[in-house]
Every structure is written in structure tokens, then in C-alpha cells.
Amino acid sequence: MRLSHRITHLTDDGTGGWGLFNRAREMIAAGLEVTELTIGEHDVRTDPAILTAMHGSAIGGHTGYASIPGVPALRAAVAQRIEARTGVRTGPENVLITPGGQAALFAAHHAVCDEGDTALFIDPYYATYPGTIRAVGALAQAVRTRPEDAFQPRAEDLAAAAPGARSLLVNSPNNPTGVVYDRATTEGIAQVCADHDLWLISDEVYDTQVWEGAHLSPRALPGMAARTLVIGSMSKSHAMTGSRCGWIVGPEEVIGHLINLGTHTTYGVPGFIQDAALFALEAGPEMEARIADPFRRRRDIARTVLAGQNIVGSVPSGGAMYVMLDIRATGLSGEDFAGRLLERHRIAVMPGESFGAAAAGHLRVAMTVADDRFKTALQTLCNFAAELARAG
């Protein structure tokens, strides 16, 4: 029996760049100790107070079908949070609660792209982006950035790719690079969208993890609220990755259609999870800061370690839980270096090539283990790079 082309061609290589991650997990399953610096998974679990709220809601009976757009109180809390952060008038009618940010990305592209439309995204990119676009039947087209620009997209490159496209997906603070788009970059993105009548899908799941500069949501720029869909999530801000609770913020008409899509796909998010998310948001910025602080510390640790050597370069990390390292001085690709590092030192990092051609010769390092272990792993990586550079 024949499967659909859409499902068999979600990823170019069949793995979506997850081959090394899978190999590391196989080593761990075999009993080997591996330092995992691969995925953006917190090294602390969800706060017990959030879990207590979740448990209380479930025991209290909020286990049936929940409202598909989202529990009204949670939609209102998300709207209030977005309005407070951006200054853009936002009401519950502008919010759809989704099963995590990934489902929100899928729904957002369904909302703005027809079969065969071109959907733009920035290279380097989070590994699921092109597959998400292909999953809705659109054509995924990368717009390549440059290491020398700290991977900030140039407006002229976006403009060159924009004719005939329907949407543009951006992500700041950025995964995989840790870059926070500056105002000039964000204004350039907005201008291209206005000039070429593009929908903008802005993935802002790392908006609480900003170490330098300031996060500017493109929805806050003049005229952009009407053409922007913002993706948010509890995963990164509150260490609720497994709870799968996110949202889309956008124009009321779009949200109305997306509610209809939710009726035919996910049928909503469990009520007890939404109640826990509401509790977490109501805990305020203190909880968000506590979740973010370890990554701020480790970013500083990384800067200190990297300053003590001259082989491994780095992209300025202004936010998120990653640092992007430049290992081109070793003469190896990111894929080759990461493979050797795993086999030789049992340290798992993601090759830059997993995130697109622009990141070739780089590594994404997730700052997701305890400080001392992270420092040791990064020092080992730098020493190994120096060894390879001397040998090569």
C-alpha cells in the first residue's frame, strides 16, 4: 500500500538531524555514561507547586473534555501577559491554547498556507521547522543567514526570497544560535512582510530567557498585529516541557478559524494541565526568573571557558538555553566533530548541520546539565578541538 508523499517526505534525510541524538540515547540505554548537551530539556523538573495544582485540578474533576479554545481564565491570563510585555491590546479572543508550541506552529501554518504555497523560514532553524511546513502541504524555503552577521537575517535576503511566498517564520530568542534579534533586524523583518504581504509567524517560546539586550516581539511594531501570529509555550518558561501547553496569539478572525481546526485535530488541551499552566502564570515573573537563572549562569561559564582558548569560536549568545560554537578551525564538519566527541569523550552535542546549511562547521550546545558538569564538558570539548586542530 502506498503512503502519502507528504508523510514520507517530512524530512530530507529521514531523521530530521536527530541521528546523533538517537545514538547518544542508545549508548545511555546500554549503560554508558554520556553527558547530554543535545535537546532543550531543563535539568530540573516541573516545580512541585505546579504539579500539586495539576493534581488538585485532576482530582477535583477537570478531566473531561476541556474547552477547545482553552479554559477562559487561561486565555485571559495569556492575553494579559502578552499585552503587558508588548503594549499591544490583546484579549482572550486573540488567544488559542494548543498542545505545546509545536502544535501551535503546525496550526499557524495551516491557517496561512494553502497546498503548494511557499513558506519561508530562517536558516539555521529549529529542526522541526521545515517538516512542519511540509506537513501542511506548503513548500519550505530557507533564507540563509551568515555567521559573520551573528546569524541575524538581512532584510535584503528576506526581500529577495519573498516574492510569491505566503509566510515567514522567525524565532527570537533563537534556537539553535542563542541570538536575540536586535531592533534593526526585527524592523527589517516587519518591513519585508508589509512590502510583500506576508504573514509573519513569530516563535517566541524563549522570551523569558534573555541575557543581553531586549526581546522585541514583531507584533508590537506598527501595523504588524494584523499580520502576525505569535507562538508561545509553558515548556521553556516554566519547565513544563512534558505538559504540552502552548498558545497562538493573533487576529480574532484567524483564531476563530484555528478553533475550528482544533475541533478537527487535537480537540483541546486537558483541563487539569491548563489549570496548572494558569497557576504557573499567576506565580509571576519570580518563577520564570528562577527557571531561567541556571542558563544565564551557564552562559557566563561558557564565555569564561571559551575566552581561555583560541580554537573554538562562539556566536554571541543573548538568550535561550544554547550556545552555538564555531569549530571550523578543526577542519571538521559539525557532524564529524560531534560524532568523534561522542565516541571519544561521551559528550553529546548537536551538529550545526542538523539546523541547516548556514550552521555547517558549528555545534549547538544545550546548557542543560549542572554547572560543574557543564564547565567540565565544555573544557573537554575545547581541548579536543585543539587536539584535532594540531593534528589536522
**Taking all residues of the chain, what is their mean pLDDT, rounded to a whole number?**
96
CA 244 to each of CA 9, 288, 312: distance values in angstroms, whole numbers, following the listed order: 25, 17, 36
Q: Is residue 356 pLDDT above 90, yes or no? A: yes
Is residue 259 pLDDT above 90, yes or no?
Answer: yes
d(C-alpha 158, C-alpha 186), whole Å: 12
* Predicted confidence (pLDDT) per residue in 69-93, tens digit: 999 999 999 999 999 999 999 999 9
Report pLDDT for 350.
96
Q: What percent of the chain is modeled with pLDDT above 90?
A: 94
pLDDT tens for 125-171 read 999 999 999 999 999 999 999 999 999 999 999 999 999 999 999 99
d(CA 279, CA 288): 12
Q: Which fold has domain 64-283?
A: Aspartate Aminotransferase; domain 2 (3.40.640)
Tens-place pLDDT, residues 262-312: 999 999 999 999 999 999 999 999 999 999 999 999 999 999 999 999 999
pLDDT at 316: 87
Using an 8 Å Cβ cutoff, are 312 and 381 in contact? yes
Residue with cell 512582510: 193
Decide: 217 and 207 in contact? Cβ < 8 Å.
yes
Task: Give the residue range(s) of CATH 3.90.1150.10 domains in the chain.
Answer: 5-45+286-391
pLDDT of residue 365: 98
Has residue 14 got a pLDDT over 70?
A: no
Question: Any residues with CB less than 8 A from the CB of 209 and at least 6 apart, and which?
Answer: 173, 236, 237, 292, 295, 296, 319, 320, 321
| Topology (CATH) of 5-45+286-391 | Aspartate Aminotransferase, domain 1 (3.90.1150)
Q: Where in the chain is the domain with CATH 3.40.640.10?
A: 64-283
Top-confidence residue, 21 or 260: 260
Q: How confident is the model at residue 17 (pLDDT cuts 50, 70, 90)?
A: low
Q: Has residue 13 got a pLDDT over 90?
A: no
Instruction: Give the count of beta carbons closer than 10 Å to the beta carbon of residue 212.
Output: 12
Query: Which residue has cell 494553502?
Result: 114
pLDDT in the model for residue 9: 87
In the chain the first and final C-alpha atoms are separated, in Å, by 50
pLDDT at 16 over 60: no
User: d(Cα 57, Cα 272) in Å, to the nearest integer?
Assistant: 5
Read off the pLDDT of each residue in 28-37 and give the average, rounded to a whole number: 96
Task: Over range 95-116, report the average pLDDT.
Answer: 98
Where residue 19 falls among pLDDT bands split at 50, 70, 90? confident
pLDDT for 301: 98
Which residues have CB under 8 Å from 43's CB, separation 6+? 294, 368, 369, 370
Instruction: Average the pLDDT over 167-196 and give the result.
Output: 98
Write the DSSP string, 54-111: HHHHHHTTTTSPPPTT--HHHHHHHHHHHHHHH-----GGGEEEESHHHHHHHHHHHH
Q: What is the reported pTM?
A: 0.96
pLDDT band at 317 (very low <50, low <70, confident <90, very high): confident
Between strands 199-203 and 95-98, the pairing is: unpaired
Query: CA geometry: angle at 222 spanning 105 and 159, to 5°?
Result: 65
Confidence of residue 12 (pLDDT cuts 50, 70, 90): confident
